[in-house]
Amino acid sequence: MSELIAVTGATGRIGRRVVRRLAEAGATVRALGRDPEKLAALATGDTRAASYADAGAMEAALDGAATLFLVSAHEAPGRVRLHAGAVDAAVAAGVRRIVYLSYLNAAPHATFTYARDHWHTEQHIRSTGLAFTFLRDSTYQADLAAMTSPEGVLRGPAGGGRVGAVAHDDIADSAAAVLLDSGGGHDGATYDMTGPEALSFAEIAAALTLASGRPVTYVPETREEAYASRAVYEAPDWEVEGWVTSYEAVAAGEMADVSDDVRTLTGHSPQAFADFLATHPECYRHLLPH
């Protein structure tokens, strides 16, 4: 039997794709998540319900696993602490390798506040002495479509910056390739997960216009305008700051990277945004005529 690979966030957009790919490749995979009902629908019979906040449950769920694919927790003020708890549980359970889904240009002073969480998590993983690989995602292509209002407006303080957005399927293919290679060739490596091009928000709006058949426009905002336009959601301050700084990171040039790492890991080119839209109309259904 092959070594056990544990996948957290297994019912999410990345995790479920990775579980399916590992199962199809004949790997021994255990799916971890918080909802037993959703776990039961996955492509593996080995599932464990566990939350990052419950160190004991995480350690028990990871018992016997050689490799952990750690998907980041939902954004929250205590996210780094939750990640550290999951990593410590992996160490206690005897896990030997962690593949962590991080974020592009993660740094302690990154413009995008959530990217700072990923840097701190990376440092904690390094401190354990376990073998590790970091997959640093760019913005997801599906999220660019979701950021557009039903009125066809994409607004934010991104200026004229560019973003090399990536498809979920390309991330899952890359993660599966790393997880299935137990020979140590990816140990200590950091891979940048991007699409094949860096687009401005005006170009993103143009692609959405072409795909949906209705006008989509990009409206640049100042920081003050961005906070004001999002006040209607009555979200906590830390969350709104994350929303706004995600655009400001684009304006600062921190999301313009275009990497060939997806091709290196998978052997195929990452999907272009226009091709993604052509095959995923559900991502911009809110723009289509009712």
The secondary structure of 139-183 as a DSSP string is: -BHHHHHHTS-TTSEEEES-TT-EE--B-HHHHHHHHHHHHH--S
Write out the two tokens for 194. 């991007």
Query: In this predicted structure, what is the pLDDT of residue 269?
Result: 97
Q: Looking at residue 288, what is its pLDDT?
A: 86
What the block records as the tokens of 234 is 């009555």
- pLDDT at 138 (0 to 100): 98
DSSP 8-state symbol, 142: H
Strands (DSSP E) along 157-220, which ranges? 162-163, 189-193, 199-200, 217-220
Q: What is the CATH number of the domain that holds 54?
A: 3.40.50.720
Flag whether 123 is in a domain. Answer: yes
Q: Is residue 159 part of a domain?
A: no
Nearest Cα to 52, choosing from 29, 76, 21? 76
Q: What residue numbers bound the domain in which 39 lies?
A: 4-137+168-193
Interstrand relation of 199-200 and 162-163 (parallel, antiparallel or unpaired): antiparallel
The pLDDT of residue 1 is 56
> Residues 45-61, buried b or exposed e (16+ Cβ, 10 A)?
ebbbbbbbebbebbbeb
From residue 25, alpha-carbon distances to 2, 173, 232 in Å are: 11, 11, 46
Two structure tokens written together for 49: 């319900």
Q: Compute φ and ψ for 40, nearest 5 degrees.
A: -65, -20
Domain count, the chain: 1
Q: What's the CA gap between 159 and 177, in Å, rounded?
A: 36
Q: Which amino acid is at 191?
A: Y
pLDDT at 255 over 60: yes
Predicted confidence (pLDDT) per residue in 48-81, tens digit: 999 999 999 999 999 999 999 999 998 999 999 9
pLDDT tops 60 at residue 257 = yes
Structure confidence at residue 208 as a pLDDT band (50, 70, 90): very high
**112 is a domain residue:** yes
Q: CA 213 to CA 81: how far, in whole Å?
A: 45
CA 218, CA 252: separation in Å to the nearest integer?
Answer: 17
Q: How confident is the model at residue 290 (pLDDT cuts 50, 70, 90)?
A: low
**Percent of the chain, pLDDT > 90?**
96
Q: Does the residue 207 lie in any domain?
A: no
Share of the chain above pLDDT 70, in %: 99
The reported pLDDT for the residue numbered 2 is: 85
Does a structural domain hold residue 179?
A: yes
Beta-bridge partners for 31: 7, 47
Q: Stretch 9-19: mean pLDDT, rounded?
A: 97
pLDDT over 90 (residue 227)? yes
Which tokens hold the place of 213?
Answer: 């058949």
User: Model's pTM, two decimal places?
Assistant: 0.96
Average pLDDT (183-212) is: 97
150 falls within a domain: no
Residue 226 pLDDT exceeds 70: yes
Asked whether residue 10 is domain-assigned, the answer is yes
Q: What is the pLDDT of residue 122?
A: 98
- Please state, as a whole number, how many other Cβ atoms lie within 10 Å of the Cβ of residue 94: 12
For residue 251, being part of any structural domain is answered with: no
The structure tokens 């464990």 sit at 48
